[in-house]
């Protein structure tokens, strides 16, 4: 077994760059970067961080090494726009399989966050003796909307 080399968020970019230079890797797209990261893991590098942080660094370095590729630029731009309001979903409309997979992953992440927020609300309301309900719907952009309608004790059951 190889000796472990711990990679933290503090040295992430520099460690990846150093590995790429030493291995004389050629990075033209994100798939090349994935292969390089797999080679790093095979060589004993352990990434001690959230995988989202690792993916962000991979996207940044891929774009840095090949800025003329629009797909690399789009990946970085989507990552920068992800935390914006829901008014703009930040997706490009190029329609490639990578774009579709990225959009699906981002949408799945958003839905997980909303579910977590819903669970946190429910935990806070567990002490309340009144039942509460939620309306789950889609807004005009297709995003899931979870609305707490609060106390439903006084609402007649129409079923």
Specify the length of the chain in residues.
159
At 112, the pLDDT band (50, 70, 90 cuts) reads confident
Domain boundary among 67, 82, 97: 82
pLDDT > 70? residue 95:
no
Residue range(s) defining the domain that contains residue 153: 106-159
Pair (78, 9) in one structural domain: yes
Q: Identify whether 19 is part of a domain.
A: yes
Is residue 59 a contact partner of residue 30, using CB atoms and an 8 Å limit?
yes
Number of domains making up the chain: 2
pLDDT tens digits, 70-94: 888 888 888 888 554 544 444 444 5
At 154, the pLDDT band (50, 70, 90 cuts) reads low
pLDDT tens digits, 16-39: 999 999 999 888 889 999 999 999
What is the Cα 142 distance to its own chain's centre? 18
Q: Identify whether 158 is part of a domain.
A: yes
């Amino acid at each position: 077994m190889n000796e472990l080399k711990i990679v933290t968020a503090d040295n992430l970019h520099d460690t990846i760059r150093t590995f790429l230079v030493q291995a004389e890797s050629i990075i033209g797209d994100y798939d090349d970067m994935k292969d390089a990261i797999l080679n790093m893991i095979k060589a004993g590098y352990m990434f001690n961080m959230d995988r989202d942080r690792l993916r962000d660094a991979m996207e940044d370095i891929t774009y840095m090494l090949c800025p003329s590729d629009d797909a690399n630029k789009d990946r970085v731009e989507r990552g920068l726009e992800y935390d914006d309001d829901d008014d703009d979903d930040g997706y490009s409309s190029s329609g490639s399989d990578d774009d579709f997979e990225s959009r699906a992953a981002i949408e799945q992440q958003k839905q997980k966050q909303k579910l977590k927020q819903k669970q946190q609300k429910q935990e806070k309301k567990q002490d309340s003796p009144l039942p509460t309900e939620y309306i789950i719907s889609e807004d005009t952009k297709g995003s899931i909307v979870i609305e707490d309608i609060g106390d439903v004790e006084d609402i007649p059951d129409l079923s």
